[in-house]
Each structure stands twice: as structure tokens, then as C-alpha cells.
A and B are shown apart, each in its own frame.
Chain A
Amino acid sequence: MNELKIKADPASSLRREASSVVIRFAGDSGDGIQITGSRFTDTTALAGNDLATFPDFPAEIRAPVGTTFGVSAFQINFGSRRIETAGDDPDVLVALNPAALMVNLARLKTGGTIIVDSGTFSERNLKKAGYKSNPLEDKSLDAFSIVNIDITKLVLESVKEFGLSQKEGLRCKNFWVLGLVYWIYGRDRSDTVDWLKKKFAGRPDIANANIAALNAGHVYGEVSEIGAITQLYTIPPAHMPHGLYRTVTGGEALAWGLVAGAELANLKIFFGSYPITPASPVLHALAKMKQFGVKTFQAEDEIAAICSAIGASYAGALGITSSSGPGIALKGEAIGLAISTELPLIIVNSQRAGPSTGLPTKTEQSDLYQAVYGRNGDSPLVVLASHGPADCFDVAIEACRLATKYMTPVMLLTDGYIGNAAEPWLIPSVADRAPFPVKKETNPKGFAPFNRDPGTLARVWAVPGTPGLEHRIGGIEKEDGSGNISYEPANHQKMTNLRRDKILGIARDIPKQSVESGDQTGDLAVVGWGSTYGPISRAVNNKMADGKKVSHIHLRHIWPLPQNLGDLLRGFDKVIVPEMNDGQLKTVLRDQFLIDAKPITKVTGQPFKISEIEGAIDAALEN
């Protein structure tokens, strides 16, 4: 491998320096696009660039080959400057078949580069993609720079010596392309080679064929007249805070944050879940953490998943369940029981586009109403939202802290985009975090199951197996203190008030709302939550650079809201709320603070573009 590293870059003098580049890899679901993207991500991270990714794939696992609905894509924005989004419009589109070109061309920047595999542009494939004529031959792509290579043919040549079938040989196409793209950006192949060797340790022929394809793609670039194929680039390392980094996806960071939070609470995790897109990565990550004593349970359905988690909390573990909107709907009754019995519980919602089955692999933030309001009865709980992959780690720890300190369910909102996207992460130290160990009740003297801490209003946690504390709990209204069934009118009023006040009181125990960018007062506040962080942050900073009095406020605590939020928002003439829903946080802000928060909504299954937020800021300031 070392020879690859030490070889001088023959094209170094011809490389143009760029501060950031957006590449979108696109192909058939079976082309290995997501693997290509994740390998490019790791190599880019190791080269020291900041980055953000956006895996964008269909719900169908292997849709018919060559169809537009089978197109899978992976977008990465990387650079030497701070990167906060996966990029508005790609600079480069890699299209491994006509359908990938058809679906993704509209996103490409005018003048952008298209790398196509002309070997797939057969009449049949063109027809399947909906082309009436071959775009490589008509003049429809004149506005772009085309890198037209018969990759199919070159891949098969490069892997001939390994005796693979044609089908297996073509599976190496993604690595051939990766090799070429590495050449264009002057990237080192060794990490990808190591990965392939490890991944296919049991099939060295497949590993070697892919490595050969990777090298062949790279060599294709090298031996072509330098710069003849396309402009070559160099992207210097980004200036990032000092420390040890890795890349992390939201799914991983969330799983690790939950384990960290449980460790800080001195509890064991029980994770009950039912597979659902896009929430399953959290289950997968935790199932691999048994060495930490994590017990994962793949339940028979969403209801059993949460009920088992509540049972686990009752028995003294930290019960956690995870799903996406439709599954959360099924869990509603059980969430009510956890509220009524005042047991700690974490419910992770990896949101996706709804209603109903909606768009399972497309991102949306439309479960905020469901989180805050979506149960029968007056049933308050804590709602938190993470704003990016790495942020999931901290939000998960905060969820563990609040659930155990206040004996309450906590709904943690993330989304499909955050869960699957990756970004560089300054690795935190769990050992340096302040622990918040849970104290379970053990003293029978004066014990009653609904005795409360007068400060937090949390009830005691008395776990089966503790002598002398035997008691009964359930979903029927209970008398405060004793926990005995009570149908007394005044008691139900009292219990409803207690459940409300306990949750609202948490506002005293969470950080005051800060301003991410801009001043504490001004002409316009742009209020966001969740995965809109990146585009809002960039847009607000761009507008601030233009001299606009605009500030970015991003909420982590959705319920209860931070104590100072109302006053903070009143310090701005106008408030806009960009959300990937039809205006849900906007409603909550209007309701809580009687302010004229204006919605900026988008529900296309695609994240906001920076330019869209900039446009909304301009419009708000003009009116």
C-alpha cells in the first residue's frame, strides 16, 4: 500500500485548489452507490476535510434494473472550509446509468461535470429511463462538461484475470469509478484497499477484483493526457478544532450516546424495537454492544417493543424504544401508561415523510405535533430534537438524564437524514462527563410508590426485588402518594396538575436558549429545530455577512421550551420558522408566546437548500 502513498502526484502542478466540492454519486440500487459514498467519505475525512453527506435512496431494495424509481444516490459536500450541509447543487454528478442521469440532472449546477458510463446508454436502458433520444448524442447536455467513458467495458477488462462471472465483474464498477474520482481529487486509495481486504476477507478473489477495478479507474485518469478528461482539483485540509476525529452517522452517535447516558446514570439499557425505516440503524448499532450489557429485544411489533421497554424500566433498567412516525403512532397508548405510571423511558423517533407510510426513506420533520400532543388525555412528556449526526450523542445523554431524574418518558426526535448522514466528529470523552447516578428507593419506612421529590416532583423508583416495597401500579388514575386506584374528582385534577407541573418544571433544569449566530436582538430571528440546522446556519451567516440584522436560534428542547425563549423571540421584529413540515413548531411558538411566527415550509423529502433559506430571509426582511 505504501507505494501508493509515496508516489508523487504527477498532476500536482495542474490541480486547481478548491475550498469545497459537492459530488453526487448516482446509479442503480444494485450498483453499490451507498458503499461508494461511504468509502469516499472515509477517505475524505482522513484527508482532513470537513464534510457532510446525504444518502438518498429509494424504499425499494432492488427495484427493476435501469428504472428511475430504482435510482440510489449519495451526495457529499467536502472542503477546506466549515461544511454544514450536504450542498445545494452538486458540482459533479456521477451517473452510472441513464436513469441516474434522468433523476439527478436537474440538481446539477450549470456548467457542472457529469461522469457517465456510456456502456449503459443502450436503447433499452434509455427507454427505461424515459429518454426519447440519447442525451450523450443530442445536444441536451451542452450546458455541462461531460466525461463520457465506457466504464462497463473497462471494468470487465480490468477484472478479467479473476475469472468472475460478467455479473460479478460488473459489481466492481463502483470501485472503478471511485478510483477515477480519487484521481480527480488527488486522493489516497490505501484506506479503501484496506477496507476491501477486510470486507471480503472470505472472498479474496472479490477483494482483489475490486482493488483491481479501483486501481484501473485511477490509472485511467493517470494515463490519459493530464487534464484532458476533466479539471483536476486539490482540496486542502480544513482548519478544525484540535483533537482526535472520526466520522459518525446519526444512528451510531445516537446508539453510543444512549450507552453513555445509561453509564452516567449507572443503569443498564434495555432496548425494545421493531424494524422500521429509517430507525433500524439504532437497533443494529446497539445489538453490537452486548459487551456493555446492552439488552436488545426485537419485538413482534411496535407496541410490544415499547411495552417491553416500559416493563424493563419498571424492573429497574433504562427502557428505550425506537421507531419512526407510523410506529410511534402505534406506541401511543403505551406512552400514556409510562406517563401515568411515571416511569423513565426514552422513545426515539427517526422521522420520515408522512402521513401513513408516506415516503419511508425520505426525510421530514412532521412528527412534532405527534411528539408534543399525540396521545389521549392530558399527557405531557419531554421532547428533545437533535440537529445533526454528531449532536445525537449529546441529545441522547440529555434524554437519559431527564428521563431518570424526572421519572418521565422522553421523546427524542431525529430524522432519516440525520440518521444516515455522516460528518466528522471531535471524539468526546465520556469519562470526563458529569455522571448523574440514579437513586432507587430501598427504604420501606414511610414508603409509598407515588412519594415525590418536592423539588423535581419525580416519584420514587421502587424496583421489584426490593424487600418491603411491594406495591401495585397501573394505568388507572391513582391516588397521589399511595398509588391506590382513585376515581376521586379532586384527585384526578391534582394528578393532572402534578404531571403537567413536573414536565414544565424541567424548564428550570435545562440550558437557557442561546443564539447560534447573530445578535440577541435584531430585525429577524430564524428559528429552527432538528436537521435544518446546516442550511439555516449557512444562510444566516451569509446574510449577516451582507450586513443583515438576522440571527439563528435553534431549539434542542422542544418541550418544555427554554424559559427565556419567549423574551428572546420578542427581541426580534420578525420571526420565521423553516421546517420540513407544514408549519408545526410555528404553531407551538404562536401558542406559547402569542408571537407572529411565520412558517417557511418544505415537504419534498429533500433537505432545505441554503439558497431557499436565504430567499426566505430576504423576503421576510423586505416585507
Chain B
Amino acid sequence: MNIAVTKEKLKPADFASDQEVRWCPGCGDYAILKAVQRTLPDLETPKENYVFVSGIGCSSRFPYYMSTYGFHTIHGRAPAFATGIKITNPELDVWMITGDGDGFSIGGNHMLHVLRRNVDLQILLCNNEIYGLTKGQYSPTSEVGLRTPSSPDGSIDRPLKPLVFTLGTGARFAARAYDTQKNLPEILKRAHAHKGTSLVEILQNCIVYNDAVFDNVLARDVAAEKQLHVEHGKPLIFGADKNKGIRLNTKTLTLEAVTIGDNGVSLDDILIHDEKNRSLATLLAAMDGRELPVAFGVIYCDPAETYEDGITHKIEAAKGPEAPSLDALLRKGHTWQA
């Protein structure tokens, strides 16, 4: 850990590769790339230990634009590659970049299992609710009714909520942000500090095939009313006047938005955010900007033993006092002399 202190601190530009970025002008991925490049200099990982792993899709080109080690793999399988990398060398600092199609459609099975195993990775899910690289078909996070080349009369697939899925797998960290969010590096640092799989859903605008899809939440004129930025230990307050809050309806076990001062509602009625409360996190993750605002920030964080540590411990436990000999093993048990 002293290495980073003694070395000259790297700058964001030191993490940019010499490759020309090939995303469409105005793509949300640019902002995410910049946020990651702004985040890494503040971390203590030696540069050579970073590995960026991705699958297939627009966002999966990400590793080519980083000057770290990078592996652009195959569609949907990045979690499996990342798992093999991390188990092999737990010293490596592995970041996985995926999209809504790569991560939750073709790669849904791997996503489920990497999350439940709790391999120490950061997973950045660039969710633009559309297939970009294949030219605009609806994705597993697209809203019902979305008209695309493959759903000319409107999609009938019901959308998946990535963070609800994440919490359902038993994952230990879930956060949400959006591409141009100023404090995105802070959220990424929280994800990095968490030992275990950290999934960050980043709402990412696809300017070509699904432009402004998040405007109902992100547009300047609705932002204050439609965004709830959660903080551990603080009440769940939102609104331009900071007078709205989230209350638990104990009869229906659902969340409701209330205004402090109306109908006898006081600050005491408002829920306090608890990152270690999976039930609360699941309710917050499901808020979709219709009746309730969308939650941003670290929604859940409750560390547990990582998968690779489990493997390392088993190997340590299996080792005897002396170096093992294969020749001795082959001669164990039933043998006879001819």
C-alpha cells in the first residue's frame, strides 16, 4: 500500500490509452470513461494491477480506452472471465464494464452467479435501455411499448430492474448513478472500497437510439422531485424544498412519498437510510420515478467473505507442513512390485 504514496500520483490522463475513442458524439459512455479516469488516481492500487474486463456492446469497448490491462471478451461472459482472473490472482483490481443487454440478457446467468458468489469486482452496468451496437433493438430494461426495429408496434417485454435483481441474488453491494453525475467518482470509490462484488447501475444516455429516455428523472426541471440521493444514516428526504420524504406504510409494507408538515407528517416519520438493510434496499431499488422518486447513491453495502478468499483459505487448509510431491501421491494406496 505504500507504493502509491512513494510514487508520483498519476493523473486522469495517465489512464487514457492511445486509442481513439469510437463512441458516438454525445454518448453517455464518454462521461463514464472520464469519471473512471478521474477515480483511479485517488485509489491506492498500482497501475499494473488494474484489469478492465468487458463483454460485447458499445460500453464493452471501454477497456480499449484505458491504459491499464484490459480484456474485451465475448458477449455476456465478462463475469466468468473476471472471476477466473480474480481467483487466479486476488491482488489484481478487476473492473467489469457491461451494458443492459450484455449483462442482463445474453449474460444474465453469469451476472446472477458472479453476484451471489461475491467475487471482489466492480461491475459498472451502463444501462441505456436499448441495444446500441446492433442498431437499436429493445433491451431487457426497455419499457413496455418501446418501438424499435425489432418491435415496430411496441415491445411487450416487461423490463427487468437491475438493482432489484442484484439484491435478489444475495449480492452485498448495490448503487445507482447516472452518466453525467458530478459525484460519480465518489460512488465508484465506494464500490471500489467494498470488498466483494459491487454493482453500480449507471443510467447512460444513448443519443442515437434512445435519446432522453431518462429525462423523466434526470431533466433539470424534474430532477429535485424525481431523484432521491440516499446517504447512510440520513433520512430519505428529497424535493426542491427538501420537505418530502419516504415513509413505510406498515400495513401494505410499501414505501410512500409524503410531505413533511402535511397531514401531521413529521421528520420522525421519514425512514432513515440503512445500507445494511436488504429489505429497505430492495424497496428503494424498485422505486421507478412514477409514484416515487428514483434512488441514487449507495443503496446497499454489507460486506461478507469474498469468493476468492474462500478458495485461498481452502488451499491453505489443504497444505501440509511439507511441499506436496506428486510422485509420492502416485505411490500412495494400493501398489505392487512386478
Contact = CB atoms under 8 A, between A and B. Distances in A.
A is bound by B: yes
Interface of A: 42, 45-46, 48, 191, 237-238, 240-247, 256, 259-260, 263, 268, 270, 272, 289-293, 295, 297, 299-301, 303-305, 307-312, 314-317, 319, 333-334, 337, 341, 426-431, 464-476, 484-485
A291 B318 contact: yes
Most buried by A among B66, B73, B319: B73
Interface in B32-53: 46-51, 53
A305 B84 CA distance: 9
Given A295-B88, A312-B87, A472-B63, A337 B74 contact: yes
A241 B338 contact: yes
B53 A311 contact: yes
Specify which of A307, A317, A468 lies most central, judged by the most chain B CB atoms within 10 Å of its CB: A307
Interface of A, secondary structure class, is mixed
B71 to A, nearest CB: 6
Contact of A475 (B47, B72, B110): B72
A49 to B, nearest CB: 11
A272 B64 CA distance: 27
B249 to A, nearest CB: 38
Nearest to B77: A307
Contacts of A316: 88-89
Interface in B82-96: 82-85, 87-89, 91-92
B23 interface: no
A431 B334 contact: no
A261 B73 CA distance: 27
A429 B83 contact: no
B335 A474 contact: no
Nearest to A272: B84
Size category of the binding interface on chain B: 35 or more
A315 B64 contact: no
23 contacts: A243-B338, A244-B337, A245-B335, A245-B338, A268-B88, A295-B87, A303-B80, A304-B80, A307-B77, A309-B84, A310-B81, A311-B80, A314-B85, A315-B51, A333-B75, A337-B74, A427-B331, A429-B327, A467-B46, A470-B67, A472-B72, A473-B72, A485-B19
A315 B119 CA distance: 15
A245 B109 contact: no
A312 B71 CA distance: 12
Nearest to B79: A304
B81 A307 contact: yes
Nearest to B87: A295
B84 A468 contact: no
A465 B73 contact: no
B84 A475 contact: no
A488 to B, nearest CB: 15
Contacts of B48: 464-470
Interface string B280-296: 00000000000000000
Contacts of B83: 297, 299, 304, 308, 311
Given A291-B320, A307-B73, A474 B84 contact: no
B69 A464 contact: yes
B84 A307 contact: yes
B320 to A, nearest CB: 6
A310 B327 contact: no
B314 interface: yes
B113 A475 contact: no
Given A244-B335, A300-B109, 15 more contacts: A45-B334, A245-B337, A246-B331, A270-B84, A290-B319, A291-B318, A297-B87, A307-B81, A308-B81, A309-B84, A465-B91, A469-B48, A470-B68, A471-B70, A472-B72
B253 interface: no
Contacts of A303: 77, 80, 110
A270 B88 contact: yes
Contacts of A337: 73-74
